[in-house]
A and B are shown apart, each in its own frame.
Chain A
Amino acid sequence: MDSKNKIEVKDLNLWYADKQALKDNNLHIKERKVTALIGPSGCGKSTFVRCINRMNDLIDGVRITGSILLDNKNIYDKDVDVVALRKRVGMVFQRPNPFPMSIFDNIAYGPRIHGIKDKDSLRKIVEESLVGAALWDEVSDRLGTNALDLSGGQQQRLCIARSLAVKPEVILFDEPCSALDPIATGKIEDLIHELRKKYTIVIVTHNMQQAARVSDFTGFFLLGKLLEFGKTRDIFENPKKKETEDYITGRFG
């Protein structure tokens, strides 16, 4: 059975000042599936995912037209509470950026921001999130140590745990493995496989094998436009556009 559309992007355009970075994009993101976004550097993948939790609002001079429906509600409507939106749509960045505080406080940051003060509840959320991010076994005995002392791969899983702690429905990953070695990358990929059962996932990646391994759907961006979108199998085995084929076979010039 086909799962429902969690996110529907309609005629999305975005300008940085005068420069158009996204052009007339339309796509549907299925609930509890992994959607990979690929494309050459500078084609607008990061810009696109930042639209989904309105992080672009924080950049000066950004102008957006079109709409993005999350559960059929346009997130760019005037009455939308951006804080509540970002709670529902979490983000994991390219480089892990733990806060300079303990592992526990890092994970508890989001819940605390959203008003949870009770110690036991916090402890429970921290444990659940770390388990969810496959980091619990490695850090359960040292939650009080500074998160900056973790390895890069552990830091990235910490950041994933941190976004899980807010209990999002959608998680956006912007090249989450680009700063990691193959083993740490493998762990994150396994993790994404697990997370897929509960969350809707969008992942930007430059690694074709990774896109093929982790995703159900793949979108290929070129110069700010979604050129091709479909089941990952179809995209990789029989791309309809020549540009897509050239890109995934590495012939892109």
Chain B
Amino acid sequence: MLSKNADRLAKIWLWLSALVIILVLLSVLGYVFINGIGAISVSFLLDMPQNNWREGGIYPAIVGSLIVVFVALAFAAPVGVGTAMYLTEFRTEGLVTRIIRTSSDALNAVPSIVFGLFGLSLFVFYLGDYTGGPSLLSAGLTLGFMILPTIIRTSEVAMRNVPYAERMESFGMGASKLQTIRNIVLPGAVPGIATGLILSIGRAVGETAPIIFMVALNPTIPKSLFGSGNTLTTQLYYLSMEGISMKVAFGTALTLMLVILTLNAITRVFKKRLSRNLRRC
């Protein structure tokens, strides 16, 4: 009897916890949706801001976000996938792999505002002559540092999941290491790597702290990577902090969330592909 009651209690508790999660999610999403949907329209997304953001759209912020994410990926994807490939295909476990992996994990633990401070010091103050100071390039590179550990980790797991036996078969037919990586390891790892990249895009597009020192509120379309620009997150921060327009702030927030939710949906598709790939083991 007792155990039956305990069972039931446990069930209720678990059920309530699950309910809380769903409620929190729905209220956050719902709140942003209700407050933001009024602002959103095609012209909101594609027009320039007017009258200090009180009217018009948020086009420059969208362009700016795209640019910083592109810069971050252009830096972190090759470096991250390359590091992962080095770890899995070119080194046996040892001191070197441990050092690389520990560094990557440590990098992942750095608070995002500290990345911001680091980016400010390195790209704006120290390398300012080359990066254009507080530019989209500086912001993108800082985000690139931040997403590097995720890309390394996910790519490494993806490559390790390609069965050792497949590599042996390939070598057994006289394939070189590079041929084996190109024809067997990379194709097998692509869904996993892509998942990691998309997760990283989501993270980069949603972060404010690392770039808050480099991206100010700017109503113009960025002219180049070396110029200053605007992103969705920083714009959201300034619009609400300075009480400029809550309506536009919520519109921006909703736009941001839609982008991230879409990215998450895409990752899910890739994950499915990934699990379909796994049947070969």
Contact = CB atoms under 8 A, between A and B. Distances in A.
B30 interface: no
Given A60-B92, A148-B280, A93 B173 contact: no
Interface string A26-51: 00000000000000000000000000
Nearest to B180: A113
Contacts of A162: 169, 173
Given A93-B165, A97-B166, A99-B169, A113 B279 contact: no
A95 B280 CA distance: 12
In the complex, which of the residues B168, B171, B187 has the most CB atoms of chain A within 10 Å of its own CB atom?
Answer: B171
Contact of A100 (B172, B175, B176, B280): B280
A214 interface: no
B159 to A, nearest CB: 14
Contacts of A60: 92
30 contacts: A55-B171, A60-B92, A82-B174, A83-B174, A83-B175, A83-B176, A84-B174, A87-B173, A87-B174, A90-B172, A90-B173, A91-B172, A93-B165, A93-B169, A93-B172, A95-B165, A97-B165, A97-B166, A97-B168, A97-B169, A99-B166, A99-B169, A99-B170, A99-B184, A100-B280, A101-B187, A109-B173, A109-B183, A113-B174, A159-B169
A53 B172 contact: yes
B277 interface: yes
Contacts of B280: 98, 100, 148
Interface in B250-281: 277, 279-280
A152 interface: no
Nearest to A88: B174
Contacts of B173: 86-87, 90, 109-110, 113, 162-163, 166
Nearest to B164: A97
- Contact-residue bracket for chain A: 20 to 34
Nearest to B278: A100
Interface of B: 92, 163, 165-166, 168-176, 179, 183-184, 187-188, 277, 279-280
Given A99-B184, A100-B188, A109-B183, A58 B168 contact: yes
Contacts of B166: 97, 99
A157 to B, nearest CB: 14
A114 interface: yes
A148 B163 CA distance: 14
Contact of B174 (A100, A114, A159): A114
Contacts of B176: 83
Interface string A134-159: 00000000000000100000000001
B168 A55 contact: yes
Contacts of B169: 93, 97, 99, 159, 162
A95 B168 CA distance: 12
Contact of A109 (B163, B170, B277): B170
Contacts of B163: 97
A86 B188 contact: no
Interface string A92-114: 01010111110000000110011
Contacts of A101: 187
Nearest to A91: B172
Given A97-B165, A148-B280, A86 B183 contact: no
A47 to B, nearest CB: 14
Contacts of B92: 60
Contacts of A166: 173-174
Interface in A110-134: 110, 113-114
Nearest to A97: B165
A96 B279 CA distance: 14
Contacts of A95: 165
Closest 7 CB pairs between A and B? A86-B174, A110-B173, A87-B174, A91-B172, A97-B165, A83-B174, A100-B280
